[in-house]
Structure 1
Amino acid sequence: MHQVTNISYGEGSVNIVLDSSSQMEVTAPEFRFGDYSSVVTSCFTQKELERISEGENALLTFYFVVSDEVDDEQLLAQYSEAIEKNEEQIGRLTEGIYLDVKASKTISDDKENSLVTLSSDVDVQMDIPLYLIGEGRSYFFLSSNMGNCELIEDASPDADVLTISTDIMCPGVVLYQDIGESLVERDDKVFRIKTTHLAIIGIAALVILWAVLDRLHKNSKRW
């Protein structure tokens, strides 16, 4: 995929280039931003924005590479540890595809600079590959930046689109969770423990309490 979007900013403009490729047999999915204007203001400093506004042209380039495996064992270990920790809170998570992201920016004839941290969140949208789409399935993105992993919940209402709201351009892995595997229910993106699980916990507590009281009652009869 190769996509170029031109955004006017004052007297100048910014070309936003999105390139994606696949290291799998499956074709690379489509990537796009929810709001291209916010991408511009999030990627450039105030001084850089002033230069563009006064008439200079700029370029933002984003490279997305999807694959079904990662050669970096240390990175894989980070993913595994982070997944296990999150599963304790929200339930089973299954790995889908790995995503490598690289970004850069430049103004006029300046040297190209790599871009990792943005000044604010932007929405990165990815079409979910058909083989990963399932009825009622929830999606997540586990990002990894310098050893720090963050689980980002899908912000899109569309079943076939993953929306990642983030201020970091870094590699990660797309995860999914099927119906019945979640320990929480989501209401306006707020996690709550499911009522079914609360009921199970309540019943277990009552059984334990009954057993304790029964033992105390039997012991009192002996005396």
Structure 2
Amino acid sequence: MLLALAAAESPSRYKLMSSPASASGDPFALLGLPRRFRLRREEIESAHLQASLVWHPDRFALRPNQERISAEDKMATINAAYAILKDPLERALALLASEGFSMTEGTDTSSSPEFLMAMMELKEEAANAMAADDPQQIKNISTKLSTLEQQEVTEAETNFDSIAQEPQRRAELLEAARSHLQRAAYYRKTRQDLDRPKTR
């Protein structure tokens, strides 16, 4: 029963969390950055600054109304792309999406029974901590989920890196990355649900 419930809740794909940029174009291209996972934070911030200097609405204050609106829209898209690329999980999801993997929410049928059971146990542990109103236990579980997310993103990073050395395994490595990112996204969603303030 628990396993069936976990399968029903687990997303097989994960919608990009900063969807405005993904809807408007490739976030890497929008900031003029190479399409790869390994990007230094300084690179991303510098690219965002350069794009902002071109498209900031203040530069269009005296321009016709339509140009001002276009600049505002472009700046919003640039900011959304920046939000995606500075977050390792979202950057990895964007990179995977650029390879043709559609990351949308849905019911998972591919996760291993072990993963589904482990997630159910974590969710049950979290529910018990919330019911007991135990802030320290909630914090401990949140930290554990964050660590698990980071581990999965690191594994996906290894898959991305391996493509350059083993291009003949590209499809296999991308599928492996997708699997790791699917789990990372689920860990994040569970942590966000746990950290959400409880309404009384």
User: Could you state the TM-score of these two structures normalised by the residue count of structure 2?
Assistant: 0.28
Instruction: Pick the structure with greater CA Rg.
Output: 1
Bigger relative contact order (CA 8 A; separation at least 6): 2
User: Could you state the TM-score of these two structures normalised by the residue count of structure 1?
Assistant: 0.26
Instruction: Return the structure number with greater helix share.
Output: 2
